[in-house]
C-alpha cells in the first residue's frame, strides 16, 4: 500500500484510533457472548455503550469530517489505494453524518426494549406483543432511509449498509431467477426414490460426546489452515466469528450432544469467516481497508466452506472414516453414500437457521419480500404474521402453526436490522460463481476426495482474502471471475450436486 | 451513601467514567492473561496502552482537578462518605498530578524493556544483565518519590502507593518484632521429632488429573460462598483475581498434575480476594469507594482464607474424606494427621511463591530491607545480589546458588514496582488480628471441624467486605478489632497452630 497524499495520511492516523477502539469493543462483545456471568449483563451493556459513544464521537469529529470532505474533492489526485480508503470511509461515515443524533438515540432506546419484548413474545408465541416494537422499528428505518438518501426505494438505503451498492431492484431480479428454480428442484428431490428427510443416526438414540466433537472441530480448523497462534475457538449459544486484532480472530461453535453435524457445519462455516479475516494483507491492518469488504462476501466465504467444501460428497466420503474414528460405536457400519445423504438432507422447514443448502435461500427470499414491502409501506406491520404464513405456503408448501416458527423466529428485527438478510443468499450466489471459476485451475472434486484443501484455500486467499476491503463486492467478484454476478452458477451447482445424490 | 454536596456529585459523575474505563481495561487484561493467542500480544498491548492513555487524560482533566481542589478546601462541610470520596480521589490522583508526564513516560519505556531483559536474565541466571535496568528503575523511583513528597524516607512515598499511610519506619518496627520470632519458631519446628519436609504423596509418583482438581476448586468456591452468577473461574499461568464489574469478579487458578495442593491453595486464596470484591456495598459501585481499600487488606482476606481457614488442622480433617473422594487411589489410607501435615509443611526455601505460611513473611522482610536500602541509597544496585545471599543466610540459614533462586526470582521490579512486597506480610498480620477478634463471637475451630464456613464468612463480610474502600486500612482494622495493628496476634497464631501440629 502506497500512501503519498498528506490528507490521506491524516485520515489514516485518525482511523487508527477508530480501529483500536472498534477492536476493544469487539473484545467486550466477544467476552459477553462467551464468558459473561448472568448478573454482569447490565454492567457490560454500560461498558459497551460507553465505547459505542466514544466511537460515534470519533466518526463525527469535525477535523476528521472536514478532512474527509477535502479528500472527496481531490479524488482524481489519489492513487487506487487512497481512493479505496476514501470510499470506505465515506461508507462507514454515512450512517453517522447523515442521520440526526436524536434518531440514532431513539432507535437505540426502542431496540434496547424491543429485544426483551421479542424474547418474551417469541417464547409465548404472541406476535401481537411484538407488534408495537416492530411498528416503531419500521417507522425509524423509514426515517433513516430518508436521511441516507436513495434513488428508487427506501429499502435500497438499508441494503447498502450491509452490501455496498446493492439495490432492492437488483436483489429482486436475482431472487426472481433462483426462486422458481429452487422450488422446482426441491419438489424433484422430494419425489426421488432415494429421498429421505431424517436420519436414524441423529434421532436422539445416539450421543456424540462434546470432547470428541471438539477434537473433530480442531481437526477441521487445522485442516482448513486456521492459524491457531492468531486466533482461538470457544463455545457460545449462537456461533459467530470476530476479529479482536488482525492476529486475534476468534470463532465460536456449539456442541449438540444428539447431532454432531451441527458443530461440524458451524465450525467449518465460522472458520471460513476467520480465514478471510486472518489472511487480509497485513499492510491493511488498522486502515479502512482492513477486514472483509461486506456481509455478502463474508457469507460467500463461510458458506463456500460449509456447503461447497464441507458437504461436498467427495469430501464427505473422505471424512467418513474420520467421523467413524471419532464416533466408532455411533457410526459403525454406515456406508459412504449414507454419510453423503446424512449431510445433504433436503427438507422444507420453518426455521431458517436449521435449513439445508437448497431450501435456505428461500427463507431469505421470504424475508426480503417482507422487508421490502414493510419499508415501502405496501405491507402494514400488523399483517406481517399473515403474510409470512402465505409466503411460507408459496415457497415451502407448509404453513407454520405458531408465530415462533414464523414471523418471530429471527432476532434481527428486534435490534433494528432490516436489509441484512439478503447478504446470506447473496453469499450463496457469489460462492457458486467463485467455485465455477476456481474449477478452471483446481481439480476441486479430486482434491476433496483426497482431503486436500491446500489449493482451494490458496485460491480463495489469493483471489479474495488478501484484498481485505480494497474492492467493492461486485468489483472483487469481477476481478476474481471475470464476470458480474450471475445466479445461474448457483442453480447449476445445486442441480449437478443434488441430481447425483438423489439420482434425479 | 448520602451525597448532598454539589461538587462531590460532579466529582462522582466524572469518576463514573474513570470507573467504566478502568473496568474495560480490566476486561482486556483478564483476556490477555487467560485467552490471548500468541501472535496477538503486540496488538493487545496497543489496545491496553490506548485505554491507559485515555485513563491518564481523565485523571488529569482540568475541570476534574479543579473540582477536587475545591472539594479539598471545603472538607469541614462534607459528611463522612463525602470525605472518604475526596480522600480516595486524592490518593488516586496523586500519581498523575505530582509526577511530571515525562517521568511517567520514561518509566513506561524503561519497564517495557526491563520486563524482557528480566525474563532473559532470569532464564540465563545472569543478574549483571538485569543490573542496568534495575539501576534505571531505582533511579526513576527515587525521582518519583521526590515528586510524591515524603517526610523521612523516600521509600515511604512508594509504600503509600500500595498501602495508604504506611511508612518504612512503621514497617521496620512490625517486621523487627516478627523476624526473630519466626526464625526461632522455624528452628524449633525443624527440631521436632514429627518434622517432615516432604510428602511421598506429591513426589511425582502420583497424578492428580485436572478435571478432578477443577471439581475440587468449584466445591471450595461454592462452600466459601462465591456467587457464580457474578463471576467465574478460569486458568492462567499465575493465579489472579480481577473485577470487570461489581457483578463480574473473576478468579484464575492453575492445575499442577503432580500436586493438587497448589490449585487448592490458589483457589481458596483467590476466592478470598473475590469475596471482598463481590461483597462491597452495592451503593459504592462506580464510586471512589468501590472495591477493596488496599493491597494489604486484600492480602489479609486472601491469606486468611488460604492459611487460617484452608490450612486449619480442623478444616483439613473435615476435608480429608473429601480429598479422598476426589483422589481415591492416590490418597487412600492417609490419616487425618498426615493430611494436616501435608498442608502445613514448614521448610526454609529460596522461592517466595512456593513458601509456607511460617517462612513466607521472612521472604517479604528480605525484600523490604533490600528495597528500603536501595531507595535510600545505602545499597547500590550492583550489590543487591550479594546482599540477597547474605540476608538469605541470616533469615533462612541457606544461600541460593543462582541469581534465579535469589535476586532475579520476582517479576515486580521489572515492571517498576517497589514498595509492593510489604503488603503481603502486612496481610498476614492484619489477618491474625482479625482472627483473634472473630473468635470472640465465632467458634472458629469447631465450625471448621464441621466444614461450616457461614459464620466466618459473615463476620468478614460485615466487618471488612461491605465497607469497600470507605475506611483506610488502619481505620478499618480499628473499627473491626478495636485496636491498631499489633504483630503479636500473628506470632501467637503461628505458635499455637504449629506447636500443636509438631508437638513443640
Task: For residue A236, give the nearest of A278, A266, A265, A209 by alpha carbon.
Answer: A266
Q: Strand order in A241-245's β-sheet? A: A231-235, A248-253, A241-245
Which of B23, B36, B51 faces A24 most closely, judged by CB atoms?
B51
- B204 pLDDT above the threshold of 80: no
Dump pLDDT digits (tens) for B128-153.
999 999 999 999 999 999 999 998 89
Task: For residue A307, give the nearest of A453, A198, A432, A196 by alpha carbon.
Answer: A432
Selected residue with higher pLDDT from B202 and A95: A95
Among B16, B17, B23, B24, the residue to mutate for chain A (most A Cβ within 10 A): B24
Are B229 and A47 a contacting pair at CB < 8 A? no
Are B46 and A20 a contacting pair at CB < 8 A? yes
Specify the pLDDT at position B198: 79
Q: Which of B270, B279, B357, B371 is catalytic?
A: B270
- A418 pLDDT above the threshold of 90: yes
Neighbour count for residue A432 (Cβ, 10 Å): 25
Query: To 10 degrees, the CA torsion angle through A370, A371, A373, A375?
Result: 160
Cell of B278: 463481590
Backbone CA torsion sign across B356, B358, B364, B366: negative
A307: DSSP letter: I
Confidence category of residue B196, pLDDT binned at 50, 70, 90: confident
Which of B35, B40, B248 faces A245 most closely, judged by CB atoms?
B40
Q: Does residue B461 sit in helix, strand or coil? A: helix
B246 chain-A contacts, CB cut-off 8 A: 43
Query: Contact A408/A127 with Cβ under 8 angstroms?
Result: yes
Among A245, A249, A251, A290, the residue to mutate for chain B (most B Cβ within 10 A): A245
Task: For residue A161, give the nearest of A371, A344, A386 by alpha carbon.
Answer: A371
B411: DSSP letter: S
For residues B501 and A408, give the distance between their C-alpha atoms in angstroms, rounded to a whole number. 67
Cα Rg of chain B (Å, integer)? 23
Residue in chain B lying closest to A21 (CA): B47
- The residues, any chain, with a CB within 8 Å of residue B338's CB and separated by 6 or more, are none
Confidence category of residue B112, pLDDT binned at 50, 70, 90: confident
Which of A20, A35, A230 faces B50 most closely, judged by CB atoms?
A20
- The residues, any chain, with a CB within 8 Å of residue B404's CB and separated by 6 or more, are B122, B123, B125
Among B247, B278, B286, B291, the residue to mutate for chain A (most A Cβ within 10 A): B247
A21 chain-B contacts, CB cut-off 8 A: 50
Are A31 and B31 a contacting pair at CB < 8 A? yes
B231 chain-A contacts, CB cut-off 8 A: 37
Dump pLDDT digits (tens) for A352-363.
998 999 999 999
Are B28 and A23 a contacting pair at CB < 8 A? no
β partners of residue A245: A248
Specify the pLDDT at position B101: 86
Look up B270 and say whether it is catalytic: yes
Residue in chain B lying closest to A48 (CA): B24
For residues A383 and A128, give the distance between their C-alpha atoms in angstroms, rounded to a whole number. 10
Backbone CA torsion sign across B187, B189, B193, B199: negative
- The stretch B357-385 carries a mean pLDDT of 97
Which of B28, B35, B38 faces A24 most closely, judged by CB atoms?
B28
- A108 pLDDT above the threshold of 90: no
Specify the pLDDT at position B340: 95
Among A26, A247, A274, the residue to mutate for chain B (most B Cβ within 10 A): A247
- The stretch A260-278 carries a mean pLDDT of 97
The Cβ-side half-sphere exposure at A249, using a 13 Å CA radius, reads: 23
| pTM to 2 decimal places | 0.94
B31 chain-A contacts, CB cut-off 8 A: 27, 31
Q: How far apart are the first and last CA of chain A?
A: 51
Phi-psi label, residue B261: left if phi above 0, alpha if psi -120 to 50, beta otherwise: alpha
- A66 pLDDT above the threshold of 80: yes
A352: DSSP letter: G
Confidence category of residue B205, pLDDT binned at 50, 70, 90: confident
- The stretch A157-161 carries a mean pLDDT of 95
Q: What is the largest CA-CA distance in chain B?
A: 69
Specify the pLDDT at position B197: 80
Classify residue B17 as exposed, middle or buried by CB count within 10 Å of its CB (0-12, 13-18, 19+). middle
Neighbour count for residue A245 (Cβ, 10 Å): 27
Phi/psi for B25 (5° steps) reads: -60, -40
Specify the pLDDT at position A471: 98
Which of A43, A50, A232 faces B248 most closely, judged by CB atoms?
A43
Specify the pLDDT at position A204: 73
Dump pLDDT digits (tens) for B431-488.
999 999 999 999 999 999 999 999 999 999 999 999 999 999 999 999 999 999 999 9
Dump pLDDT digits (tens) for A323-372.
999 999 999 889 999 999 999 999 999 999 989 999 999 999 999 999 99
Dump pLDDT digits (tens) for A161-194.
999 999 999 999 999 999 999 999 999 999 999 8
Which of B35, B38, B247 faces A37 most closely, judged by CB atoms?
B247
Q: Which residues of A touch B (CB under 8 A)?
A: 17, 20-21, 23-24, 27-28, 31, 35-40, 42-44, 46-47, 50-51, 227-232, 244-248
- Say what percent of chain B tops pLDDT 70: 100
Dump pLDDT digits (tens) for B254-295.
999 999 999 999 999 999 999 999 999 999 999 999 999 999
Query: Contact A37/B231 with Cβ under 8 angstroms?
Result: yes
Query: Contact A418/A395 with Cβ under 8 angstroms?
Result: no
Are B23 and A47 a contacting pair at CB < 8 A? yes
Q: Strand order in B231-235's β-sheet? A: B231-235, B248-253, B241-245
Classify residue B195 as exposed, middle or buried by CB count within 10 Å of its CB (0-12, 13-18, 19+). middle
Confidence category of residue B333, pLDDT binned at 50, 70, 90: confident
Are B47 and A24 a contacting pair at CB < 8 A? yes
Dump pLDDT digits (tens) for A291-310.
999 999 999 999 999 999 99
Dump pLDDT digits (tens) for B53-92.
999 999 999 999 999 999 999 999 999 999 999 999 999 9
The mean predicted confidence, pLDDT, of chain B is 95
Specify the pLDDT at position B220: 98
Are A27 and B47 a contacting pair at CB < 8 A? yes
Angle at B117 between CA B116 and CA B123, to 5 degrees: 95
Q: Does residue A242 sit in helix, strand or coil? A: strand
- B23 pLDDT above the threshold of 80: yes
- Give residue for cell 477492536: A23
Q: What does each C-alpha distance from A239 to A31, A145, B78, B393 come to in angstroms?
A: 13, 30, 52, 58
Are B43 and A31 a contacting pair at CB < 8 A? no
Chain A with chain B: Cβ pairs closer than 8 A: 93
β partners of residue A248: A245
Are B230 and A40 a contacting pair at CB < 8 A? yes
Specify the pLDDT at position A227: 98
Are A24 and B35 a contacting pair at CB < 8 A? no
Residue in chain A lying closest to B245 (CA): A43
ipTM: 0.93
Give the catalytic positions of A in this structure: 270
- A232 pLDDT above the threshold of 80: yes
Specify the pLDDT at position B105: 87
Specify the pLDDT at position B88: 97
- A269 pLDDT above the threshold of 80: yes
Which of B35, B43, B245 faces A40 most closely, judged by CB atoms?
B245
- B212 pLDDT above the threshold of 90: yes
- B199 pLDDT above the threshold of 80: no
Specify the pLDDT at position B124: 95
- The residues, any chain, with a CB within 8 Å of residue B407's CB and separated by 6 or more, are B127, B384, B385, B388
- B330 pLDDT above the threshold of 80: yes
Amino acid at each position: 500500500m502506497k500512501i503519498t497524499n498528506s490528507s490521506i495520511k491524516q485520515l489514516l492516523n485518525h482511523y487508527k484510533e477508530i480501529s483500536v477502539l472498534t477492536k476493544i469493543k469487539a473484545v467486550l462483545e466477544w467476552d459477553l457472548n462467551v464468558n459473561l456471568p448472568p448478573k454482569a449483563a447490565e454492567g457490560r451493556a454500560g461498558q459497551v455503550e460507553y465505547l459505542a459513544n466514544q466511537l460515534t464521537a470519533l466518526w463525527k469529529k469535525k477535523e476528521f469530517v472536514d478532512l474527509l470532505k477535502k479528500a472527496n474533492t481531490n479524488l482524481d489526485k489519489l492513487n487506487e489505494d487512497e481512493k479505496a480508503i476514501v470510499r470506505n470511509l465515506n461508507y462507514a461515515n454515512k450512517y453517522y453524518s447523515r442521520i440526526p443524533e436524536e434518531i440514532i438515540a431513539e432507535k437505540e432506546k426502542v431496540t434496547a426494549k424491543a429485544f426483551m419484548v421479542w424474547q418474551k413474545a417469541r417464547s409465548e408465541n404472541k406476535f401481537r406483543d411484538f407488534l408495537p416494537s416492530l411498528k416503531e422499528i419500521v417507522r425509524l428505518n423509514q426515517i433513516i432511509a430518508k436521511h441516507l438518501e436513495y434513488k428508487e426505494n427506501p429499502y435500497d438505503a438499508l441494503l447498502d449498509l450491509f452490501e455496498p451498492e446493492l439495490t432492492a431492484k437488483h436483489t429482486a431480479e436475482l431472487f426472481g431467477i433462483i426462486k422458481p428454480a429452487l422450488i422446482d428442484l426441491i419438489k424433484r428431490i422430494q419425489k426421488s426414490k432415494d429421498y429421505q428427510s431424517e436420519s436414524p443416526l441423529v434421532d436422539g438414540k445416539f450421543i456424540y460426546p462434546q470432547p470428541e466433537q471438539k477434537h473433530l472441530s480442531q481437526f477441521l480448523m487445522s485442516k482448513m489452515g486456521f492459524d491457531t497462534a492468531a486466533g482461538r475457538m470457544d463455545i457460545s449459544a449462537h456461533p459467530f466469528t470476530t476479529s479482536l486484532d488482525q492476529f486475534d480472530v476468534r470463532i465460536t461453535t456449539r456442541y449438540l450432544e444428539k447431532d454432531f453435524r451441527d458443530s461440524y457445519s458451524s465450525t467449518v462455516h465460522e472458520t471460513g469467516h476467520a480465514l478471510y479475516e486472518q489472511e487480509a494483507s497485513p499492510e491493511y491492518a488498522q486502515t479502512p481497508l482492513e477486514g472483509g469488504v461486506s456481509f455478502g462476501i463474508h457469507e460467500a466465504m463461510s458458506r463456500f466452506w460449509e456447503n461447497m467444501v464441507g458437504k461436498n460428497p467427495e469430501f464427505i466420503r473422505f471424512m467418513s472414516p474420520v467421523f467413524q474414528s471419532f464416533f466408532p460405536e455411533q457410526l459403525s457400519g454406515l456406508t459412504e453414500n449414507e454419510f453423503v445423504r446424512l449431510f445433504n438432507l433436503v427438507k422444507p422447514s420453518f426455521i431458517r437457521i436449521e435449513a439445508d443448502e437448497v431450501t435456505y435461500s428461500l427463507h431469505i427470499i421470504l424475508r426480503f419480500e417482507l422487508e421490502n414491502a414493510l419499508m415501502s409501506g405496501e405491507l402494514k406491520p400488523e399483517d406481517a404474521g399473515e403474510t409470512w404464513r402465505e409466503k411460507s405456503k408459496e415457497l415451502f408448501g407448509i404453513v407454520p402453526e405458531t408465530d415462533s416458527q414464523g414471523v418471530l423466529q429471527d432476532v434481527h428485527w428486534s435490534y433494528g436490522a432490516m436489509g441484512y438478510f439478503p447478504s446470506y443468499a447473496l453469499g450463496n450466489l457469489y460462492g457458486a460463481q467463485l467455485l465455477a471459476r476456481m474449477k478452471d485451475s483446481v481439480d476441486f472434486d479430486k482434491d476433496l476426495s483426497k482431503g486436500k484443501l491446500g489449493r482451494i484455500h490458496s485460491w480463495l486467499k489469493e483471489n479474495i482474502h488478501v484484498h481485505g476491503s480494497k474492492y467493492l463486492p461486485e468489483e472483487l467478484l469481477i476481478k476474481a471471475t471475470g464476470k458480474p454476478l450471475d445466479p445461474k452458477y448457483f442453480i447449476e451447482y445445486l442441480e449437478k450436486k443434488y441430481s447425483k445424490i438423489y439420482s434425479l
